[in-house]
Amino acid sequence: MIRSTMILLAASAVALSGCGMDRAIYRTDLIAEPETCVANTFEVYFAEGEARLTEAARQAIGMTAARLQGCTIQRVVVTGLSDASGGAVANQDLSERRAIAVAEAFTSAGWPAPAFEISAAGAQGATTAQGTSEPMRRRTEVFVQAAPRP
């Protein structure tokens, strides 16, 4: 019994020795880095009733601007949204001011102003079919179309 176990272990060791690697495995062989200069969408959140950027929003905008610094920014669509609290006119105005605040922050970071398309949805769609208010609507949605520089 011991002899057959020893033979089996020896055979396994010989078989596994043939699995040696011809070359080292590098991280880039296993993990694909995401492409930087591609279209992506992200959101910037605001405090209730505010169009002023929070510090977290400024940081997110700064990181996005830095990450795409080596890209050609072709198009940026910023859509301001608001929740259902307040009147329709006030919510429309608030969502417009939110979109403008985000666009201005990206422009300050060096993005080309002509690439921006700004729109505002106000509170449209901020209430579910059951009548529940959607507080996560206190944001802007930002779509960035970027391409590698030629």
3-40 pLDDT per residue, tens: 555 455 555 555 555 555 567 777 666 676 667 898 98
Mean pLDDT of 42-49: 92
User: Which pTM was predicted?
Assistant: 0.72
pLDDT value of residue 21? 56
- From the list 56, 48, 46, 55, the residue with the least C-alpha distance to 78 is 46
Most confident of 95-104, 113-122, 128-137: 95-104
CA distance 77 to 65: 15
pLDDT value of residue 137? 83
pLDDT value of residue 69? 87
What confidence category does residue 122 fall into, taking pLDDT thresholds of 50, 70 and 90? confident
Domain 36-148 matching CATH 3.40.50.1000: the answer reads: no
CA distance 107 to 61: 10
What confidence category does residue 112 fall into, taking pLDDT thresholds of 50, 70 and 90? confident
Tens digits of per-residue pLDDT, 49-72? Answer: 999 999 999 998 999 988 898 899
CA distance 71 to 144: 11
Mean pLDDT of 116-122: 90
